[in-house]
A and B are shown apart, each in its own frame.
Chain A
Amino acid sequence: MATSSERSPPPFPDSEDQDVLDAEEVRGRDSDEDEDLFGSTSTSPVTEMDTTPTSDVSMKPPSDIMNDPLIEPMSSQTGNKPASEPSDDFFDLTNNVSVVAAAATKSDDFVDILGSETGAQRGEVVKADVTVEATIDRSEVTAGVTDPLSQQEAKQTSTTPVIDLSGDSQPVTSKIADPLVDLFSDAPPAAEAKKPSSANIDLFDDEEGSDIFAEPLQTKPAKQPQKSLFGEPDEDVFGEPLGAISKKPVPKELKEKSVTTKVTAGGPLQDSKPADIFSQAAASTPSVTSTVNPKTNGVHSEEDGDIFAAEATVELSLDSPRNERKKEATAKPSAPAPTSLPAAASLAKPQPPALEELEEEEEEEEEDKFDIFVSVKDPEKIGDGMNAYMAYKVSTQTTLPMFRNKTFTVRRRFSDFLGLYEKLSEKHGPNGFIVPPPPEKSLLGMTKVKVGKEDSSSTDFVERRRGALERYLQRVVNHPSLLQDPDVREFLEREELPRAVSTQALSGAGFLKMINKATDAVSKMTIKMNESDVWFEEKLQEVESADQQFRKLHALVESLVVHRKELSLNTASFAKSAAMLGSAEDNTALSRALSQLAEVEDKMEQLHQEQAASDTFTFAEMIADYIRLLGAVRGSFDHRMKAWQRWQDAQSMLQKKRETEAKLLWANKPDKLQLAKEEIAEWEAKVTQYERDFERVSATVRKEVIRFEREKTKNCKRQVITYLECLLQSQQQLIKYWEAFLPEAKAIA
């Protein structure tokens, strides 16, 4: 197949335009294949044919992501031990969800899924799994994943929660279901994990199994004709787990294409059936139609219910997938039939500019959904002397169902914050996530506080740190993946936290940084990564120069703060002197004017002081935050590099093993040859595993960097505007003061 050759280009095209082009290039072929699909009677070749082009064409991370969890169930089938480590759980969970979501989003996939339901096929499928490529695996497993679900739907149409569903499915789907059940029993946490995307919560929380699929399906077709709907939350739901957001329009496009082809090809194939199914749906599943999202029009909802109703009645017949497909094909254009296609076409073309907008909207939407607000308040010194520490009140306000209460407050000390960071960075750092760093431990600042000096610098220090901690926590909870971490929840909710030990002696952040820096320096010397991806190369450079610039800027703003404070101090002393001069002056009017001047200067002193505070807290602290964050970004790049290194090492190891094999072959030592072969197989598996790891980390890093930059832009703008507004206010005050003074000066006679 031509598709296999297309897999070779780097996982990420250099530019998005190119990507779009690619997609368009493939369009023709793709539609061909779709037609092919319709022509064929057996679904198993169809699955292969159909899914491989989609993953190739879009060349998007989702495929990687989906590959990942699927490896595990697959390997368990082939007799290998499931390598589900607790640390991997998180990923698996999200990926599971994404599998489902992706399955739901991509009509092609969806069809495949349902297509593979036939029992006879399943054997084939399993067989194929062992040997075929990961991409193919994926489609099959997604098929498997949905398989039990749809079967359950057939059995019990209504009020069983998902967990039960998966449990029920066990007897039905014997072989494949087993690992999948594992996956699905993971689903409840996964649902939590996906909380930011509300539709996904619906997906799992909704009582009706049929609804699970009805939801995404309804919204999806509805979205295609209407541009405005792209910004809707459901888009996020799918966009988020899919990874590379920028690539999203591509699958959409594909869908559009499939729709068109289906309309033409599938239309005449079965004319009567759709109608049939419609009526069936209306009759058999009233509950489904009743729970349908009011946003979408009736046609869609009926249809969606229909899909499952049809499933239920037809019971794994070979026809069902095709019905499915047809239905979708007809359903999508059926609502606004004449407009949908041009709309889709027009959508596809102006993609690059529209893309960013989409992202923006999406992100905002997403943020709105994080209905969580964390504040750090009331720093309080606990204890005396050098054992003293600062405790902060961490209050959370949220409506997220993952928390037991809507508002709750806990007391945390500084080392707890550091402990949280350590846990998070240990867990998520290697996966390429940008874990927001907390403020560094400051021996000097804290010692001052401990000694109990009640001067301005120590209160300044405490306030700075409080603000930094608050922003740090807010960044954590606003991160869609980090919020799901049980440690975050524990940190926010649990009354007593086990003491973070490792941070006591040295600052956690500082220490980690030190180690990281040391290892980085070493690895930078030893590893010479020939960067295949220009995007990363450029980003890294950008990050590094931004880091430099921010550092410089920070030093400057700090110096401004120092000078502003000095100015405030000097203004105060001048005000005093002016007042004294006024009292010494023997001309009454002049004396009065001078004391007025002293008052003006007094107020100016206040203004300068406030301005210095604003310089510090709004401007300097923001920059300090970003210096820290840029460090974290660099960290994620390093993790990507490490993943790459691991992959390369495995590759060279494999090479060595192969050489040994060749030598053994030549030396004719059959006894050792077997061992060598086994080793080669083992290392081959490792190489693919590591390569996938690397691609996954790359995808995450990329996504995270994009997210980071967007957040940075938004945050910086907001902060700077606040800062300027503060400046503006002080200028207004200044005008008031001098205006009041002017008549006094004029009154001197």
Chain B
Amino acid sequence: MLQVDISDALSERDKVKFTVHTKSTLPNFKQNEFSVVRQHEEFIWLHDSFVENEEYAGYIIPPAPPRPDFDASREKLQKLGEGEGSMTKEEFTKMKQELEAEYLAIFKKTVAMHEVFLCRVAAHPVLRKDLNFHVFLEYNQDLSVRGKNKKEKLEDFFKNVVKSADGVLVAGVKDVDDFFEHEKTFLLEYHNRVKDASAKSDRMIRSHKNAADDINRIASSLYTLGTQDSTDLCKFFLKVSELFEKTRKIEARIAADEDLKLADLLKYYLRESQAAKDLLYRRSRALVDYENANKALDKARAKNRDVLQAETSQQLCCHKFEKISESAKQELIDFKTRRVAAFRKNLVELAELELKHAKGNLQLLQGCLGILKGNT
């Protein structure tokens, strides 16, 4: 049994410190329950160690959590501080609350994504036994991983270029196995689609948030209008302002929930499908290597030179390819099951939340209209 969660997180300047809490009955841990403090970079290190490990070539490596991005939110807070003089006190506090809420939302989201990564690893039959993972969970000191320096980053970049060029080459090779051939075409298209859908959903949600912000500002503007004096119309405006204040909260919630249930899901599957694609690439690469080794062996046999060496190399490639194929098949099937379950869960939740909010809005509007019409 291995249960991992992030029990707490702390935002320090531009760093976020996650408290990773583990409960386990596995014998290689000293205790049954323990917590360590980890930073985003350590998560990345763990992820990269999986990717670089040849042993795991046949698995879909759980995608690394995205870098926490508080810059936009922080910038907004800063802008708010600058614009303090130009707005009324109510507006300022309101805006501040808004931004703080936004910051909190991003924070929670970041934590959730890091947690998802750890859970995925902990649930994986092979990866959960990884030594690095155990160190990550247990070692109660700084892992002193450092971010990659420029040179390494450049190397990574070239690696990626080579890989994608190679990927194109390799993708052109017809697969012997129908299952993989099908998965390959599917994943290629799926990844593009999900990328597109994710981007579009982000934009949709952003404009929804903007609209909610507008309603918010309209509400406060109506409030100022309504507090000018105590005529009938002013009272009317106050009521409408109150309504807008409530509806914009709901609108903001709708946007937030869409973000959580829809956009995040799509984003996760964007990364996960990329990981699956990477797996297929590794397999195809292995296949190409295997075929090349076969050719080399044939050549060696024909020339009767270095046959043994070619044979071992061919054996090695064959073994590697077979091993990857074997686990990859299961991994891809698992991927699909996971995907369908996740989509189901999120879409149902999304629909339920949308319904809940729409009904809440409806009730507010009905109530308000009732009062307003009663007054007129």
Is B224 in the interface zone, CB < 8 Å from A?
yes
Which listed segment binds A: B21-29, B190-198, B303-311?
B190-198
Query: A564, A581, A734: which contacts B197 (Cβ < 8 A)?
Result: A581
A725 vs B210: C-alpha distance in the bound complex, in angstroms? 22
Is A494 in the interface zone, CB < 8 Å from B?
no
Cross-chain contact A560 with B197 (CB below 8 angstroms): no
Is B343 in the interface zone, CB < 8 Å from A?
yes
Is B232 in the interface zone, CB < 8 Å from A?
yes
Which residues 139-189 of B sit at the A interface, judged by CB distance below 8 A? Answer: 186, 189
A709 vs B229: C-alpha distance in the bound complex, in angstroms? 13
Query: B210, B229, B354, B373: which contacts A738 (Cβ < 8 A)?
Result: B354
Cross-chain contact B225 with A553 (CB below 8 angstroms): yes
Bitwise, B193-218 to A at CB < 8 A (1) or not (0) is 11011011101101110110111011
Query: B213, B237, B348, B362: which contacts A745 (Cβ < 8 A)?
Result: B348
A585 vs B213: C-alpha distance in the bound complex, in angstroms? 35
Bitwise, B334-376 to A at CB < 8 A (1) or not (0) is 0010011001100110111011001101100110110011001
Evaluate whether A546 and B225 lie within 8 angstroms (CB atoms) in the complex, with A563-B210, A573-B203 already known. yes
Is A685 in the interface zone, CB < 8 Å from B?
no
Cross-chain contact A549 with B193 (CB below 8 angstroms): no
Contacts of B354 in A (CB 8 A): 734, 738
Is B133 in the interface zone, CB < 8 Å from A?
no
Q: How far is the CB of A610 from the nearest CB of chain B, in Å?
A: 14
Chain B CB count within 10 A is highest, among A552, A570, A716, for A570
Is B240 in the interface zone, CB < 8 Å from A?
yes
Contacts of B196 in A (CB 8 A): 577, 580-581
Cross-chain contact B200 with A570 (CB below 8 angstroms): yes
Query: B203, B214, B224: which contacts A570 (Cβ < 8 A)?
Result: B203
Is A496 in the interface zone, CB < 8 Å from B?
no
Contacts of B247 in A (CB 8 A): 727
Is B243 in the interface zone, CB < 8 Å from A?
yes
Cross-chain contact A574 with B200 (CB below 8 angstroms): yes
Evaluate whether A721 and B369 lie within 8 angstroms (CB atoms) in the complex, with A566-B207, A728-B362 already known. yes
Is B294 in the interface zone, CB < 8 Å from A?
no
Contacts of A709 in B (CB 8 A): 231, 233
Is A748 in the interface zone, CB < 8 Å from B?
yes
Residue total for B at the interface (Cβ-Cβ under 8 A): 59
Cross-chain contact B365 with A717 (CB below 8 angstroms): no
Residue total for A at the interface (Cβ-Cβ under 8 A): 58
Interface, chain B (partner A; CB < 8 A): 186, 189-190, 193-194, 196-197, 199-201, 203-204, 206-208, 210-211, 213-215, 217-218, 221-222, 224-225, 228-229, 231-233, 236-237, 240, 243, 247, 336, 339-340, 343-344, 347-348, 350-352, 354-355, 358-359, 361-362, 365-366, 368-369, 372-373, 376
Interface, chain A (partner B; CB < 8 A): 542, 545-546, 549-550, 552-553, 556-557, 559-560, 563-564, 566-567, 569-571, 573-574, 576-578, 580-581, 584-587, 589-590, 593-594, 597, 709, 712-713, 716-718, 720-721, 724-725, 727-728, 731-732, 734-735, 738-739, 741-742, 745-746, 748-749
Subset of 29 A-B contacts with CB under 8 Å: A553-B225, A557-B214, A557-B218, A559-B214, A559-B217, A560-B214, A563-B210, A566-B210, A567-B207, A573-B200, A573-B203, A574-B200, A577-B197, A577-B199, A581-B190, A584-B190, A584-B193, A590-B343, A594-B343, A712-B233, A717-B236, A734-B354, A739-B355, A741-B351, A742-B351, A742-B355, A745-B348, A746-B348, A748-B344
